[in-house]
Amino acid sequence: MGRSSGLPILNAMPSDETPPSSSPVPTVPTVPIAPTVPIAVSDAVHVGVLVAPRLPAGVRSEVETGLEAALRERVGDVAWRVTVLSEAVTAGPSESVEVMDAARHVLLERDWDLVLVVTDLPLTEGRRAVVSTCSPVHGVGVVSFPALGTVHTRARTTTLLAQVAMTLVGTDDRDSLRQLAGDTPEGEGESAVRYAARVIGGNVGLLLAMVRANRPWRLAIGLSRALSVAGATAILTLVTTDLWLLADAYGIARFALLGAGSILAVTLTLVLGAGLWERPRTRRQRRQVSLFNAATLATVVLGVAALFLALLVVSWLGALLLVDSSVLRQVLGHQPGAAAYVRIAWVTACLATTGGALGAGLETDAAVRAAAYTTSDAPDTETAEGSSPPR
Residue-wise pLDDT tens digits, 29-54: 443 433 333 334 447 888 999 998 88
- Domain residue spans of the chain: 41-181, 216-373
Is 44 in contact with 80 (CB distance < 8 Å)?
yes
Query: Residue 84: which H helix or E strand, with range?
Result: strand 80-86
- pTM over cut 0.85: no
Instruction: Find all residues with CB under 8 Å of 125, minimum gap 6, and list them.
Output: 95, 96, 133, 370, 375
3-class DSSP state for residue 279? Answer: coil
pLDDT in tens, 141-181: 888 888 787 667 778 888 889 888 888 876 555 666 666 66
Percent of the chain at pLDDT > 70 equals 69
- What pLDDT does 25 receive? 43
Classify domain 41-181 by CATH architecture: 3-Layer(aba) Sandwich (3.40)
- What pLDDT does 172 receive? 54
- What pLDDT does 255 receive? 94
Q: How far is CA 81 from the centre of its chain?
A: 20
Stretch 288-317: mean pLDDT? 87
- What pLDDT does 270 receive? 83
Answer left, alpha or beta for residue 335, where phi above 0 means left and psi between -120 and 50 means alpha: beta
Span of 183-187, 276-280, 375-379 with lowest mean pLDDT: 375-379
Burial (Cβ within 10 Å: 0-12, 13-18, ≥19) of residue 263: buried
Count the Cβ atoms, other than its own, within 10 Å of residue 170.
Answer: 20
